[in-house]
Amino acid sequence: MELKEKAFKSVSRKNHPGDTAVDIGGGVKIGGGSFTVIAGPCSVESEEQIIGIAESVKKSGAHALRGGAFKPRSSPYAFQGLRALGMEYLLEAKRATGLPIVTEIMNIAHLGLFADVDVIQVGARNMQNFELLKELGRTDKPILLKRGLANTVQELLMSAEYIMSEGNSRVILCERGIRTFENVTRNTLDLSCIPIIKEASHLPVIVDPSHATGIARFVAPMSYASVAAGADGLIIEVHNDPENALCDGDQSILPSEFGVITDKIKKMTELFNKKYDAAE
């Protein structure tokens, strides 16, 4: 099967020669020859936690900070994030470090809280929440669109098309593993999608090896494989105390482990014609 490229308009490489670079603030770009690493905890847990992690990952080469304030959880009885308070702490971390921040939106009614957020993330479960996509298409914010667990590359690109068709062309795609019969890993990382997307679209693509594998000690090799497959960046879960993390501790690495990964990636990017600049 081939991609049905006729279905693509704004996302198509045919209509947009060259690679799109999305400027996410703080002198950081995703795409267009840069290699960009977003790091941070699954959830914002406290002001100290998020500022501490932000400082650590910045030192180790992260270009942007991730952290969840609104958390999609399978169970209504699980920790749902600090919500508005989490947003405040995240903005504190931005002020403290200068790192652009990336955080997930779950309800368009919360959009007001995202005014100072640099990149709005659409989670895998909302990849086909078309009403949300259309509303985000009417903003001018960079949108990090994660591939759904059971969504094809074709559908991922069509969801990007939903955002772009409303006028917002600042879309960053993210592969984060798909659901298959293999359950030794949380999901199956589909790295083949990177060259496929690159061929069909001008949009940048990053990889989330933390959610894809669900296992901290496999984040490093899958990060390296992502660089080699042609990704424009990574989004990695880093926590100062994974064993006591309020969510996703199993897949979170320590700041020191993160530094080992970025060191190797810096060497790899030379080989793969990408620039790994530190955040300004």
Identify the residue among 107, 116, 138, 256 touching a copy of itself (CB under 8 A): 107
Q: In sequence order, which residues have a C-beta less than 8 Å from that of residue 95 and are 6 or more positions away?
A: none
Map residue 57 onto helix, strand or coil: helix
- Specify the DSSP class assigned to residue 273: T
Instruction: Count helices and strands (H / E) in the chain.
Output: 8, 10
119 binds a copy of itself (CB under 8 A): no
CA 84 – CA 232 distance, rounded (Å): 31
Least CB distance from residue 50 to a copy of itself, whole Å? 23
Least CB distance from residue 129 to a copy of itself, whole Å? 6
Identify the residue among 49, 97, 126, 252 touching a copy of itself (CB under 8 A): 126
Phi, psi for residue 44 in degrees, rounded to 5: -70, 125
Least CB distance from residue 24 to a copy of itself, whole Å? 24
Q: Which of residues 42-71 bind a copy of itself (CB under 8 A)?
A: none
9 binds a copy of itself (CB under 8 A): yes
Least CB distance from residue 102 to a copy of itself, whole Å? 19
Q: Which is nearer to a copy of itself, 91 or 105 (CB)?
A: 105
Q: Which of 115, 58, 65, 56 is nearest to 94 (CA)?
A: 65
Q: Are 264 and 230 in contact (CB under 8 A)?
A: no
Enumerate the H helices of the chain as residue ranges.
47-59, 84-97, 130-137, 153-165, 193-200, 209-213, 219-229, 255-271
Q: Which is nearer to a copy of itself, 96 or 111 (CB)?
A: 111
CA 263 – CA 131 distance, rounded (Å): 41
The amino acid that residue 14 corresponds to is K
Q: Are 160 and 203 in contact (CB under 8 A)?
A: yes
Q: Which is nearer to a copy of itself, 46 or 180 (CB)?
A: 180
Least CB distance from residue 120 to a copy of itself, whole Å? 15
Least CB distance from residue 7 to a copy of itself, whole Å? 6
Contact stretch for a copy of itself (CB under 8 A) within 16-24, 32-40, 114-122, 130-138: 130-138
108 binds a copy of itself (CB under 8 A): yes
| Residue 167-206 contact track with a copy of itself, rule CB under 8 A, x = bound | -----------xxxxxxxx--xxxxxxxxx--x-------
131 binds a copy of itself (CB under 8 A): yes
